[in-house]
Structure 1
């Protein structure tokens, strides 16, 4: 029965994020369609999609201006003063930021000695260590994310001395392909001709 449990859990890991994403997207569009149907005399297929895309771009544009940043900062302070809501909002915001900036985060491919010396594993350099973490080390350390093969959504974050990192001159796409295909596709040089 262990195989049944293993495959059941693996199936859930694949299906749940897809299902949640589909539910959120469908509900956003259904809600938008409902509002547009009530307040606009004109209706055509794809109107909700166009409105949602325009709204997202408009909010992104607003958030990049000084006055809007102040307003958003004030709203975040208000939300941050509510105990349970603060935890939920901060968690969702951090996850969203990580997901939408993951393309930038997984740019710097490196080799590191992991899981033990003498072995090298491909990983990606993460942002600089925060002051409380950096203060724990006598020399410069770096956070490296080591993704699991076939599944970029899980892996390990290790803190390793900068001197032990071997930078790779490979494209981020090919490094990701290497991980996703469990080494079937080898990383390619940054030079597009190679």
Structure 2
């Protein structure tokens, strides 16, 4: 019959093994998921682009093995060339002709204009998307949610409101690509010192990843205090 000391050692060993397993899972899971998503993305692009390459120009037709990422490379080169063409006079002329054609299609026109505005806003370096991380009282008073200030409210919405209002995007957890657009008075927002990346990590992790404390914006960063030789 095992003694209490032997049972304690056995329980301690199981506890350590459990901790080792959890630590290994925490280390391996982000790496594995990242690799899986990267491979899935490359495979999906390859599956869309590679079949469009004529067989005589497809290197995989002459090689005994596939070339992972070939479709991604071709897509990047194609989009780069397309951007170069779209910036010159001839390309802008063709683009305006195509847009005028789409403007005559009622449903397609709405979809195209919406998608174009979204991509132009995301790609623009001067758009100021997600300027600040803020706390907003939502869905009721005394309950706070993390949100992002996108820009100052302009146009009819600002004209019809009494106070200065800003556009606030309130993302959902754990998928921040969906959410709500709120028009909130500036005085009702609590501005945080955390960066946009830290705010996103906080939302995606459902509060499990706590961002580090940061000094207020504009405050000098003091060097660490080192003890003097005589202390």
Task: Give the structure-1-normalised TM-score.
Answer: 0.69
Indicate whether 1:184 and 2:200 are aligned: no
1:171–1:189 Cα contact (<8 Å) kept:
no
The whole-number CA distance in structure 2 between the counterparts of 1:96 and 1:130 is: 20
Matches within 5 A, 1:61-100: 61-65=84-88, 68-97=91-120
Shift, 1:107, TM fit:
4.6
The whole-number CA distance in structure 2 between the counterparts of 1:145 and 1:60 is: 29
Shift, 1:97, TM fit:
4.6
Match of 2:151 in 1: 127
Match of 1:9 in 2: none
Secondary structure of the 1:86 match is helix
Match of 2:134 in 1: 110
The whole-number CA distance in structure 2 between the counterparts of 1:121 and 1:181 is: 14
Residue ranges of structure 2 left out of the alignment (5+ in a row): 1-40, 61-66, 216-220, 224-231
Aligned counterpart in structure 2 of residue 168 of structure 1, from 188, 192, 203: 192
Report the count of equivalent residues: 169
Residue ranges of structure 1 left out of the alignment (5+ in a row): 1-20
The whole-number CA distance in structure 2 between the counterparts of 1:63 and 1:128 is: 30
Q: Which has the larger radius of gyration?
A: 2
The whole-number CA distance in structure 1 between the counterparts of 2:160 and 2:182 is: 14
Shift, 1:182, TM fit:
1.0
Runs (4 or more) in structure 1 with deviation over 6 Å come to 21-24
- Select the structure with the greater relative contact order (CA < 8 A; seq sep ≥ 6): 1
2:147–2:171 Cα contact (<8 Å) kept:
yes
Task: Give the structure-2-normalised TM-score.
Answer: 0.59
Shift, 1:189, TM fit:
4.5
1:123–1:145 Cα contact (<8 Å) kept:
yes
